[in-house]
């Protein structure tokens, strides 16, 4: 099975997502525009928006808030990558120079903040206090996960519990939220939302372990692949 086959059930929604996502990244500030353009043109699989939209379709049908949510989820993911590149001193992102390599850490941090702010604004526009609470909690957990990973690297002592704790906060919870919000925007009941969240969480564990089994070790600063 190829990616196009997976995307087919939500093909129209994905087209709407891409259009809205491009619009969300626009800025009148020249440096922000140049930095974001470099990241945007480096590509990306948009796995997280796809998961959200597919879950919404399965849980009752894609709605406008499903597409809006797919956009802010991808913005949140982009912001986290920009900040991670600064923390890890990564010089490349998907084969292209990272923002901190092209500009500097100050610009990269501020651009990451700009993208994160846009994500939170768009989450608020859904009018759902539940969605805002979910994404705000996720942002806090992702930051805590990054700090925990730095602690582990500094101490150079990693238990299995430490490894899975970092995966939980950095990857598993992001995919859990994608699936959960997909169900929420489709109008699914609380039980279905909980099942979707657990599905996304376990998928996140599998994704991280298969994609980068050594993710608890110091990152490869040359490619920044995630």
Among 142, 151, 149, CA closest to 173: 142
Higher pLDDT among residues 145 and 224, named by residue: 145
Beta-strand ranges (E) seen in the chain are 92-93, 96-97
Assigned domain for 218 exists: no
How does pLDDT run across 150-172, given as a tens digit for each residue?
887 787 767 788 778 777 877 89
Number of H helices, E strands in the chain: 11, 2
Res 66: pLDDT: 98
Q: Picking from 21-25, 28-32, 86-90, 111-115, which range would have the lowest pLDDT averaged per residue?
A: 86-90
Res 219: pLDDT: 45
Q: What is the mean pLDDT of residues 215-225?
A: 49
Residue 153, classified by CB atoms within 10 Å of its CB into exposed (0-12), middle (13-18) or buried (19+), is: middle
Q: How many domains is the chain built from?
A: 1
Res 221: pLDDT: 46
What span, in angstroms and rounded, lies between the C-alpha atoms of 20 and 71? 7
| Confidence category of residue 201, pLDDT binned at 50, 70, 90 | very high
The DSSP secondary structure of 78-128, one letter per residue, reads: HHHHHHHHHHHT--EETTEE-HHHHS-HHHHHHHHHHHHHHHHHHHHHTT-
Higher pLDDT among residues 13 and 38, named by residue: 13
Assigned domain for 226 exists: no
Assigned domain for 74 exists: yes
CATH number at residue 79: 1.10.600.10
Assigned domain for 225 exists: no
Q: Which domain holds residue 156?
A: 3-211
Q: What is the mean pLDDT of residues 217-223?
A: 48
Mean pLDDT of the chain: 88
Res 94: pLDDT: 75
Q: Picking from 30-39, 112-121, 142-151, which range would have the lowest pLDDT averaged per residue?
A: 142-151
């Amino acid at each position: 099975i190829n990616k196009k086959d997976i995307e087919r059930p939500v093909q129209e929604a994905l087209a709407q997502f891409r259009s809205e996502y491009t619009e969300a990244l626009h800025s009148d500030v020249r440096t922000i525009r140049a930095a974001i353009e470099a990241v945007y043109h480096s590509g990306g699989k948009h796995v997280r928006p796809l998961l959200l939209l597919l879950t919404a379709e399965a849980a009752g049908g894609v709605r406008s808030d499903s597409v809006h949510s797919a956009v802010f989820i991808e913005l949140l993911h982009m912001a986290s990558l920009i900040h991670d590149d600064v923390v890890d001193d990564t010089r490349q992102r998907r084969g292209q120079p990272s923002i901190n390599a092209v500009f500097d850490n100050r610009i990269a941090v501020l651009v990451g903040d700009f993208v994160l702010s846009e994500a939170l604004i768009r989450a608020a526009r859904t009018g759902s206090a539940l969605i805002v609470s979910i994404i705000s909690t996720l942002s806090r957990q992702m930051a805590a996960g990054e700090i925990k990973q730095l602690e582990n690297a500094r101490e150079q002592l990693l238990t299995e519990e430490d490894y899975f704790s970092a995966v939980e906060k950095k990857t598993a919870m992001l995919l859990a939220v994608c699936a959960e919000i997909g169900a929420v925007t489709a109008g699914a009941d609380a039980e279905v939302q909980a099942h979707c969240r657990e599905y996304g969480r376990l998928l996140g564990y599998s994704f991280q372990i298969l994609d980068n089994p050594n993710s608890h070790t110091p990152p490869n600063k040359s490619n920044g692949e995630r």
